[in-house]
Amino acid sequence: MGRRRGTLTAAAVLGIASFVLAGCAIVDQFSGRAVEYNLQAEQATQQALLLNVIRASLRRPMQFTSLQSITGTASANASVSGGYTNTHQTPYLNPFSIIPANTNAALARLVTGTGGATASMSGGPTFTVPVLDTQEFYQGILTPVSHQIIDYYVQQGYPQQLLMDLFIAKIEVISTDSPTCDRFTFHNAVRNELQIGQFKALADYLLGSGLSTERASDSVPYGPPISSVHEPLNASDTAKMVEAYSKVSAAGLDIRSDGQNYRLQRRTSRYRFCFALRGRNKPVWLGAPEDEIYCGHFRPSQTTGARPASGQRSTTAAAADAGLCGPASRRQGLPEEGTSSFQGVKLSDAVLQRIARLQEGAAAAGASEDELFPVHRFRNRHVTFRFQTRSVEGILYYLGEITRQHLTPEAGQSRVAQTKTSLHYGSFPPEDCDPFENGGRRQEKTDMVRLGGRRERDVRPYYCENLFRLETNPGPGSFLSVQYDGTTYAIPSEPALAGRSLQVLELIKQLMALHTSAKQLPSSTVISIIGGTSQ
């Protein structure tokens, strides 16, 4: 009997120990849960961005939150007590119908025991979701996107038409050699078909002419002039002078001499728009502007008086043109007070003809005179371009208007906003992308014409793709969806319909992170969710 009791107790302990060991193994294997947290964070971040685009499409206030941290927890607990209950009589009298006089004498042995076991496992994430409503955060997302950020994305190879659609809010054009100082603003506004059509025509022309960005080194005078001393120095003074030079260099300053005095200058890196040259020939259709307009020809501040190459418009002449109709202090392509500008450029006949064709249909539909770009007044004129960039919040509202025009248009037909990719230098699309023609899907086109007066066509393909697109009540298979106010919104699962939608969300996510620092995050309540409990 002793062997039987020991056997049962060992089996109970062995079963509980096996359960505990299995629970510990499950808890220790956290790699799958960590990957799941990553996937859940992806959905949470992108859904939060998508929610604000939807709010913007409905013209409701946006609300910003951030998934700041995720901490996973897991535990396994177990307890065991062994034994059993076994009652029998010795000797066995009942089978023989013998009833003893004293019952206690018949129960010679009584064995009792108890047994039982419990085990549990639990786990779940602890995460922090701060509400982004600080002054610093809104200062960040309301600040126009810097030229440095635009230059980074250009150098990384993002489609420049996509970047222009997202980042450029408007382009002002001023006829600088016109006696009437004509000016017109091209608005990148999708809610007006004429405005967006004229803007796209100008954008295609600038990109076909090589519009790009670059990082340029410049030197800015720092402090007052220092008179030069030609007296011989002793060893001590020479050592002090060397030490001073070393400190100046470590502070990022240079010492320059103009022949009479010395001047401290601070070395800086500046980012600007410029026209990239392809090959040896310059784009003649731009009207032979000064060399500084081209990438790689930036003149630092102390050499702005250098003479331009033969046949080029001098800086003085460009300034004189700009002085007729506006300030002449702006450097070519450099940002100043939220805008950057080019001077001394001409619009080719190709872009003017495309805008004129677009205006014929708009005029017939009753467009006002103020909305029409005055083509005849800008023909054969030198102009100044002024670019104004959007803020992060402006980009969100822009995507909201795109969604509104597609899902709930205020007037006219539902329209999908498309962008062009794989445009070629020296070529120009004679028409804009037509989403009604291609069914709102990715389309390959080969109808570009050559700039510069050549009549042959460019048969190399370019593509029309959806810039951003959402659907309501989607079918199964949507990668990203979110519910808002009783409606489900999703990016289409078909790549030809989704276009660049996910790439645009990625850009916005990065811009939001660049405009939000750890010091700017407000304090928030920690929300804990414990799940996966079993007993």
Tens-binned pLDDT, residue by residue, of the chain (535 aa): 444 444 445 555 555 556 555 555 555 677 787 888 888 888 888 999 999 999 999 999 999 988 877 776 666 565 555 555 555 555 555 555 555 555 554 445 555 555 565 656 566 678 788 888 888 889 889 999 999 999 999 999 999 999 999 999 999 999 988 788 899 999 999 988 899 999 999 999 999 999 999 998 777 776 667 766 556 667 777 777 677 777 767 766 777 776 667 777 777 788 999 999 887 788 889 988 888 899 988 877 644 333 344 444 444 344 444 445 655 545 788 887 778 888 889 999 999 999 999 998 887 777 788 889 999 999 988 899 999 999 999 999 999 999 999 998 876 788 899 999 999 999 999 999 999 888 899 999 999 999 876 667 888 999 999 999 999 988 777 889 999 999 999 999 999 999 999 999 999 999 998 877 645 544 444 444 444 444 4
The total number of residues written for the chain in this structure: 535
Residue 526: predicted pLDDT: 44
Residue 532: predicted pLDDT: 45
User: Buried b vs exposed e over 131-169: b needs ≥16 C-beta within 10 Å?
Assistant: ebeeeebeebbeebbebebbbbbbeeebbbbbbbbbbbb
Read off the pTM.
0.77
Residue 16: predicted pLDDT: 54
Task: Give, to the nearest 10 degrees, the angle between helix 349-364 and helix 193-208.
Answer: 170
Residue 530: predicted pLDDT: 45
Q: What are phi and psi of 104, to 5 degrees?
A: -60, -30
Helix/strand/coil for 320? helix
Residue 156: predicted pLDDT: 93
Using only the alpha carbons of the chain, give its radius of gyration: 37
Cis omega (within 30 of 0) on the bond before 179?
Answer: no
Angstrom distance (rounded) from CA 316 to CA 347 = 21
Beta strands in 308-410 (DSSP E): 335-336, 339-346, 382-389
User: Buried b vs exposed e over 57-66: b needs ≥16 C-beta within 10 Å?
Assistant: beeeeeebbb
**CA-CA distances (angstroms) from residue 456 to 107, 137, 447, 506?**
117, 52, 10, 39
Residue 97: predicted pLDDT: 56
Angstrom distance (rounded) from CA 313 to CA 342 = 13
